[in-house]
Amino acid sequence: MTINIPKAWERRFKEKINCQSMNLPLKMWLSSFLRVLDKNTIILDSGCGTGEKAYYIYKRGLKVIGIDSSASAIAFAKKNIHGPEFFKKDCIRTGFKPNSFGAIVSIAVLHCFMKRERLKYIRELRRLLSPGGYLFVLVLSSDDTTKSREKEIEKGTFIQSNGIPFHLFTNEEIVSLFNNFKIIELKHHKKKTDKGVMACYTLIMS
C-alpha cells in the first residue's frame, strides 16, 4: 500500500493549524537531553511541525533548524515562532551535507512512516549526525491505546480516518531499527488520558 504521508499531513494542517503546547514530561525529557550539548551545537528538529519544540530548544540558548515537509506548518512556524530557522524539506531526503548536525531531535515523526520510509529515514538521520553527535527520538509504543487500531495496513501500522498512518513500536523493534547507533538511554513512558493510555519510547543515541 502506498500512502503519500507528507500530502496527508499537509491536508491535516490545512484543515486545522495552531500552536501545539508542550507537555511537562516532554519538556523534562528534552531538557535532560539538551543539558549535555555544547552551546555551539547546531540542532536539527527533523519533522518540526509548527515549530514549538524548536522554539523550546532555541530558548535554552541553542542553535536550531527546523524542517518539515508541510508548507502550511513551515509558514505557520516562520510567522509565529522567532529564533529558530525553518525550512520546508523532506526529512528523508534533506539535501544537507553528511555530518551536518551535532544533535538531532525527531519527535513523533518516525511512527508516522511505513516500514520502507522508516528505514530510509533512519539512514538519513545517521548520515546527518556528526561523529560523536547525539540523537533524541520519541515514538509511540505498542502499549498505546489512544488511537483506533481498526485498519492495520502493515504489521503494527494502522491508518487513521484522516489518511495518516501510525506505527506502534515494540522494544525489540526499536532496538533493532537503530542498530547503527549506540543507544545511551531507552525509556518507556505510560500515562492515562481520557482517550486511553498514552505510551511512548524516548531514546537518546549517538
Ligand X SMILES: C[S@@+](CC[C@H](N)C(=O)[O-])C[C@H]1O[C@@H](n2cnc3c(N)ncnc32)[C@H](O)[C@@H]1O
Under the rule (CB under 6 A), what is the footprint of ligand X?
5-6, 9, 20, 47-49, 53, 68-70, 73, 90-92, 107-109, 112
Min dist CB 183 to ligand X, Å, is 21
Residue 7: HSE in the Cβ half-sphere, 13 Å Cα cutoff:
4
Contacts with 98 (C-beta within 8 Å, 6 or more apart), sequence order: 127, 128
Q: Whole-angstrom Cα distance, residue 83 to residue 105?
A: 17
Which residue lies nearer to ligand X by CB, 113 or 178? 113
Q: Whole-angstrom Cα distance, residue 100 to residue 33?
A: 19
Min dist CB 99 to ligand X, Å, is 20
Angstrom distances, CA of residue 11 to CA of 21, 73, 85, 167, 174: 21, 11, 23, 20, 29
Contact call for residues 6 and 69 (beta carbons, < 8 A):
yes
Which residue lies nearer to ligand X by CB, 6 or 84? 6
Residue at shortest CB range from ligand X: 49
Min dist CB 69 to ligand X, Å, is 4
Which residue lies nearer to ligand X by CB, 56 or 131? 56
Min dist CB 10 to ligand X, Å, is 7
Which residue lies nearer to ligand X by CB, 49 or 102? 49
